[in-house]
Amino acid sequence: MLRNEPVRFGRGSPGRVQFHWRHAWRPTSLVGADPGYKNGGRQWEPAGAPTRVGVHDFPDPAVGKAVPYGVYDLAANTGWVSVGRDGDTAAFAVATLRRWWASVGSVAYPQSRRLLICGDAGGSNGYRLRLWKVELAAFAAETGLSITVCHFPPGTSKWNKIEHRLFNHISMNWRGRPLTSHEVVVELIGATTTRTGLSVHAELDTGIYPRGIKVSDNDMAALKPRIKPDRFHGEWNYKLLP
């Protein structure tokens, strides 16, 4: 079994695409076809013929990045991953939830009036982010769902079952394979399966999600009647009414 083999390149090297995995996937993975980037792990290849990749992995500000965001359905053992190419924002996080609900959730659970979301304390769905609550409230109003959010306490993201039932299998599925394009990323994620029946849908999200959007105190005051904090750590556990 062989690892990727680094090769040197100079000023004439081609452009690259940076792949940035956030939320439950913390490492940054780079995407590019030539010379390519090392991807951790090993794959069976002919002896003496490892896949050659570049020796440097400096981020290139001139090229875009891909930002995957995952949804895992515990009951169905299915995953949904949107691969964005713009800002890693709360708007993108809720857009992924909206896509999942429109395509999968509302079909699988047509009688549902409530939705439970378990997520990390930080990232674009962090409990401190005002925009996360504003976007989620808009989603609740659109769907008529009462949405309960439970954030894992800071430093406990590994308690999240999405880590062990979805993301680790995706990491194993693409180990040792240079991520040469966004399409390759989507295909490798979507091809992930397990013997226990896991299936994953992945798609590219080409939407624009600007950074730096501010939510005023007045906006939060208007939203307050629709946010119901739980008696136990209401900053981490709360409900958004439609």
Q: 33-70, pLDDT tens digit by residue?
A: 666 656 666 666 677 666 666 665 665 555 557 678 88
123 vs 216 pLDDT, higher one:
216
- Give 135 or 182, the one with higher predicted confidence: 135
pLDDT, mean of residues 179-203:
87
User: Lowest mean pLDDT: which of 2-16, 42-56, 129-143?
Assistant: 2-16
Tokens representing 218 are 């007045």
pLDDT tens profile 69-107: 888 988 889 999 998 888 889 999 999 999 999 999 999
> Rounded to the nearest 5 degrees, what angle is found at the Cα of 98, between the Cα atoms of 94 and 102?
170
Cβ atoms of 100 and 204 within 8 Å: the answer is no
Provide the pLDDT for residue 113: 92
User: For residue 241, what pLDDT band results from cuts at 50, 70 and 90?
Assistant: very high
Helix locations, 10-118, DSSP H = 90-100, 106-108
- pLDDT attached to residue 45: 67
CA-nearest of 88, 61, 110, 119 to 236 is 119
Average model confidence (pLDDT) for the chain? 79
Centre a 10 Å sphere on the Cβ of residue 36 and count the other Cβ atoms it contains: 21
Q: Note the pLDDT of residue 95.
A: 94
Report which of residues 124 and 240 the model is more confident about.
Answer: 240
pLDDT at site 34: 65
Residue 24 reports pLDDT greater than 70: no
Separation CA 82–CA 204 (nearest Å) = 6
- Which pLDDT score is estimated for 39? 65
Say what the pLDDT of residue 29 is. 58
Please give the residue that has the higher pLDDT: either 35 or 226: 226
pTM as predicted: 0.79
Boundaries of every domain in the chain: 67-159+208-240
Tell me the pLDDT band of 2, cut-offs 50, 70 and 90.
very low
Write out pLDDT tens, residues 116-131.
Answer: 999 888 888 899 999 9
Give the Cα separation of 46 and 213 in Å (integer). 51
Q: Is it the case that residue 239 has pLDDT exceeding 50? A: yes
Strands 146-151 and 114-119: parallel
Give me the residue label for tokens 């979507």.
Answer: 190
